[in-house]
Structure 1
């Protein structure tokens, strides 16, 4: 049993489930891209980068 492959599969399944939940609730998921950018991805495929100004709570 390859634990690394199992972990990769679990991470992928978790992301797929998050996308389904976002679609059902008409919202978006947030994640960090391979380039290090944090983005919002909507169920229609629209991806919007989050800027520091967007992430501020002040």
Structure 2
């Protein structure tokens, strides 16, 4: 159980760091929500869903 808690803490810290980098560089982060939806999140809190475009590299 302790390892799971440590892993969850590291995942959260990684996400927090990514958002700090996005803010510093004027960009956004991309992640998958628990329901499977891919989203872009901007440092101002705006969340925009991403939709499948059918590109062959995905």
Supply the distance in 2 between the matched residues of 1:37 and 1:56 (Cα, whole angstroms): 17
Supply the distance in 1 between the matched residues of 2:56 and 2:28 (Cα, whole angstroms): 19
Gap runs ≥5 in structure 1: none
Q: Name the structure 2 match of 1:26.
A: 26
Gap runs ≥5 in structure 2: none
Supply the distance in 2 between the matched residues of 1:27 and 1:57 (Cα, whole angstroms): 25
Which digits, 9 at most, give the CA deviation of each residue in 1:1-54, with x for residues without a partner?
Answer: 81110000000000000000000000000000011100000011110001112x
* 4+ residue segments displaced more than 4 Å: none
- Root mean square deviation, CA, Å: 1.9
TM (norm. structure 1) is 0.88
Supply the distance in 2 between the matched residues of 1:43 and 1:57 (Cα, whole angstroms): 30
Number of residue pairs matched?
57
